[in-house]
Amino acid sequence: MANEAVVHVVDDDDAVRRSLSFLLASDGLPVRLHTSADAFLAHIDGVQEGCVVTDVRMPGTDGIAFLRRLKQEGLALPVIVMTGHADVPMAVEALKQGAVDFIEKPFSDDLFLAAVRSALASRAAEAREHARAAEMRERAEHLSEREREVLDGLVDGKANKVIAFELGISARTVEIYRANVMTKMQARSLSELVRMAVAAGLDVDRKEPPRG
């Protein structure tokens, strides 16, 4: 279950934990139960994919402090906060601290499951984006220094002639480098190449010089 999308329910109320566990399992969602934020944090190393559903008011580490700890630990799972009507101001604060949603008790089964499904979908989309960005950065590592310079110029929206002038080479040579870049990056068009570079952060991050 290490890489499976698990719904982590964090609540000090045993009846709530059992009820949500049954609801999630009946909808085909893997679930793990935690009696408190501290209990979850004690086993955070084993947490991979999925989302977190937590009560905002709990003994020990409450929902707001819990969100702050998750940030400190670098765990980027989406968090849904459950709250009573009187705790809405706390729920709003939870959103400011990074929660993706909050739902007021009592809530319907459909509302709860829709919130969880939305959180899982957002996490899956984020994971795909990270994977694609990593793939684009890996492709960029195979660019030579000159090819990377041409790529930077293209991302800046510069014409071949401008790039040629700035690099002190001919426009024809820029065209050759540009074709090489397109091939190595597996881009079918200039617009796709630029989107790849932006998504991978290649337009803003050149901490390590390219090889070649």
Query: CA nearest 80: which of 44, 59, 105?
Result: 105
Domain boundaries defined on the chain: 6-131, 141-199
Contact between 144 and 212 (Cβ < 8 Å): yes
| Mean pLDDT value across residues 200-207 | 61
On the question of pLDDT at 63 being above 80, the answer is yes
Domain 6-131 has CATH 3.40.50.2300: yes
Q: What is the pLDDT of residue 204?
A: 52
Task: Say how far apart CA 45 and CA 171 lie, in whole Å.
Answer: 53
In this prediction, residue 1 has a pLDDT band, given cuts at 50, 70 and 90, of: very low
pLDDT for 46? 72
Please name the fold of domain 141-199.
Arc Repressor Mutant, subunit A (1.10.10)
Question: Is 159 strand, coil or helix?
Answer: coil
Output the pLDDT for position 133.
82
Nearest to 80 by CA among 46, 121, 129: 121
pLDDT at 84: 81
Model confidence pLDDT, tens digit, residues 9-50:
999 999 999 999 999 999 999 999 999 999 999 988 877 788
Q: Which residues pair with 104 in a beta bridge?
A: 83
pTM of the model: 0.64
How many residues does the structure list for the chain? Answer: 212
Contact criterion met (CB below 8 Å) for 10 and 52: yes
Q: In the structure, what pLDDT confidence band is assigned to residue 206 with cuts at 50, 70 and 90?
A: very low
